[in-house]
Amino acid sequence: MLLDRLRGALCAGIAVALLACSPPDVAREAAPGAIAEIPAAQLPIEARETLRLIHNGGPFLHRKDGTVFGNRERLLPPRARGYYLEFTVRTPTERDRGPRRIVAGRGAGGDPATSHEYYYTDDHYASFRQIRE
């Protein structure tokens, strides 16, 4: 019994130590109900280019870029309609817009270029990862 408790405490301590030593530029899995994170440097090059265009206010390649994202899936934090905007991330193997997007929040100032609130999906809104810049 005591040996089992000691073994459990040792394993828990090792797990905490390993997590604390993880490199900072590693995508982090989220707790249930939370959104996982991904460092901008780990995004596909096309997503980094879309993020750059968002910061610069365009020009965007698709007419739907910058349109309202409704968050019908309710995977992003709840906000008033019109708060989120979607932007296409080019998928080289696709002829149409493909499944990849960056969804940008408008932030306190109302401008997605400066909000620093960006979410990446590569599965057409089935899941999101918050971009860490």
Q: Pull the structure tokens for residue 113.
A: 């270029």
- Burial status of residue 66 (CB atoms within 10 A of its CB: 0-12, 13-18, 19 or more): middle
Contact 118, 131 (CB under 8 A): yes
Q: Pull the structure tokens for residue 55.
A: 């910061």
Phi, psi at 109, each rounded to 5°: -85, -5
Distance CA 84, CA 81 (A): 7
Contact 77, 94 (CB under 8 A): no
From 29, 37, 86, 94, active-site residue: 86
Contact 85, 103 (CB under 8 A): yes
From 49, 73, 124, 133, active-site residue: 124
Answer yes or no: 86 catalytic.
yes
Q: Active-site residues: which are they?
A: 86, 124
